[in-house]
């Protein structure tokens, strides 16, 4: 079984995470409050995903992640950031690198679980072997206000140095390149190994004026600030503020809630190799909610036909004494279509249609659909 290691100085937060994962049996969860203990665990146990706090009492999170690049470069890592800290948003991606993800506290349990499944999928697909990129690591130096010399290697042949003072990049050196030019070249490196040493006195002068985040190709992304409280109206009374309705289970007559619920839980499916799209249907075959990863896919175009096929299949197996049909899979030269029904008595009479490319990971799609169907239909 895959093992996930979480390192957090906050004992209460660890208890909450452990409680949340009690019913999730996809992997074994290990926890510690110490960076040094984490290293001991890593040496004795094969860890599939590492999640670490940035501020630890002994070995800090930046040093722990640098240790991972040198010793376990194919292990996806997640950084838990303190509340209120802006997280790096990389301009050419959704906000994180595949091998290094930034997550701000406090976070919903579902968000952490989805990120872990992304890491597990990277390992399963063999994509983790390429290791971490330097530019995704660079914002850590700002967040950790690191001072020192950072040695970076890549592919066993590339080697360079970067010099920092409280998170500010002073200088860089790679072969005959120095300064800004060397830093930009090194930022492109993948599969990096990183180590730190003290800042030499002769390197304490700033020679690079370009901001580190610009070199990383990123910006700081802050959460939107809450709206100010409304002022008095013309009658001198506070302007009433509309209250959001409490969450409730989505229904066939309320597709907007189904769409919102699907949007919240679909990220894990989008990490699956070959994923093309997903739709939720009612018994009549009407599409209530969709997620499409490829513009060429029009699930609505054939949803009713699939629904009819599913009903026919269910009727046939029932007549043969084999009970009702709960799912079926169709393979064609261009796609794999997976149809799965919800529990009629507990969750209502809904059907989920998933589409994948022929080379997609069908088993992972099936297991994740089983996991998210109750969550989507209860709005949890």
3-state secondary structure 301-361: HCHHHHHHHHHHHHHHHHHCCCCCCCEEEEECCCCEEEEEECCHHHHCCCEEEEEECCCCC
What is each CA distance from 186 to 30, 189, 212, 213, 218, in whole angstroms? 34, 5, 12, 14, 15
DSSP-based three-state secondary structure for 249: coil
pLDDT, position 63: 95
In degrees rounded to 5, what are phi and psi of residue 216? -75, -10
Domain range 255-378, CATH architecture: 2-Layer Sandwich (3.30)
CA–CA distance, 53 with 142 (Å, rounded to integer): 15
Long-range contacts of 36-39, Cβ-Cβ distance < 8 Å, separation of 24 or more: 38/5, 38/7, 38/64, 39/64, 39/67
pLDDT at residue number 36: 95
CA 87/CA 78 separation, integer angstroms: 12
Burial class for 55, CB neighbours closer than 10 Å (0-12, 13-18, 19+): middle
Residues 6 or more apart from 242 whose CB is under 8 A from it? none
H or E element in which residue 13 lies: helix 11-20
What residue ranges of the chain are covered by domains with CATH 3.40.50.2300?
2-132
The pLDDT tens digits of the residues spanning 148-198 come to 999 999 987 899 999 999 999 999 999 999 999 999 999 999 999 999 999
8 Å CB contact between 101 and 79: yes
Residues in the chain, total:
380
Which carries the bigger pLDDT value, residue 192 or residue 343?
Answer: 192
Walk across the sheet containing 148-154 and list its strands.
177-178, 168-174, 158-165, 148-154, 192-197
Q: Please say if the pLDDT value at position 67 is more than 90.
A: yes
- Quick one: DSSP state of residue 289? E
Which has the closest alpha carbon to 351: 252, 253, 267, 266?
Answer: 252
Q: And the tokens for 98?
A: 């595949």
Give the span between the Cα atoms of 86 and 77, in whole angstroms: 18
Confidence at 92, pLDDT banded by 50, 70, 90: low
* Whole-angstrom distance, CA of residue 39 vs CA of residue 44: 9
pLDDT at 250 over 50: no
Domain with CATH 3.30.450.30 in the chain: 255-378
Residue 231, pLDDT > 80, answer no
CA atoms within 13 A on the CB side of 58: 9
Coil, helix or strand at residue 204:
coil
Task: Using DSSP, state whether 370 is helix, strand or coil.
Answer: helix
Residue 239 has a pLDDT of 42
Q: Are 306 and 354 in contact (CB under 8 A)?
A: no
Does domain 2-132 fall into CATH 3.90.1150.10? no
């Amino acid at each position: 079984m895959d093992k996930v290691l979480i390192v957090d100085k906050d004992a209460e937060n660890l208890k909450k995470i452990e409680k949340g994962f009690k019913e999730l049996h996809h992997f074994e969860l290990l926890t510690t409050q110490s960076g040094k203990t984490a290293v001991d665990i890593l040496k004795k146990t094969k860890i599939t995903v590492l999640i670490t706090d940035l501020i630890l009492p002994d070995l800090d999170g930046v040093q722990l992640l640098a240790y991972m690049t040198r010793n376990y470069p194919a292990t996806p890592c997640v950084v838990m950031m303190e509340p209120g800290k802006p997280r790096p948003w990389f301009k050419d991606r959704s906000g994180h690198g595949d091998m290094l993800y930034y997550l701000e506290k406090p976070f919903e349990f579902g968000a952490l679980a989805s990120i872990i499944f992304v890491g597990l999928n990277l390992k399963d697909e063999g994509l983790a072997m390429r290791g971490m990129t330097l530019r995704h690591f660079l914002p850590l130096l700002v967040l950790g206000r690191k001072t020192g010399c950072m040695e970076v290697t890549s592919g066993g042949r590339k080697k360079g140095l970067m010099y920092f003072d409280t998170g500010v990049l002073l200088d860089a050196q790679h072969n005959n390149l120095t300064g800004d030019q060397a830093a930009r070249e090194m930022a492109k490196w993948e599969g990096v190994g990183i180590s730190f040493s003290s800042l030499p006195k002769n390197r304490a002068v700033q020679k690079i004026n370009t901001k580190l985040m610009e070199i990383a190709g990123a910006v700081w992304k802050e959460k939107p600030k809450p709206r100010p409280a409304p002022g008095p109206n013309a009658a001198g009374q506070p302007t009433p503020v509309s209250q959001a309705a409490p969450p409730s289970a989505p229904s066939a007559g309320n597709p907007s809630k189904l769409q919102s619920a699907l949007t919240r839980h679909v990220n894990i499916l989008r990490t699956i190799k070959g994923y093309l799209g997903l739709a939720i249907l009612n018994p009549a075959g009407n599409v209530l909610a969709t997620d499409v990863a490829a513009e060429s896919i029009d699930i609505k175009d054939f949803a009713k036909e699939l629904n009819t096929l599913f009903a026919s299949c269910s009727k046939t197996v029932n007549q043969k004494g084999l009970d009702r049909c709960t799912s079926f899979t169709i393979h064609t030269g261009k796609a794999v279509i997976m149809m799965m029904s919800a529990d009629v008595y507990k969750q209502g009479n809904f059907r989920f249609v998933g589409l994948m490319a022929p080379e997609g990971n069908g088993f992972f799609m099936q297991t994740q659909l089983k996991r998210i169907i109750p969550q989507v239909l209860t709005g949890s």
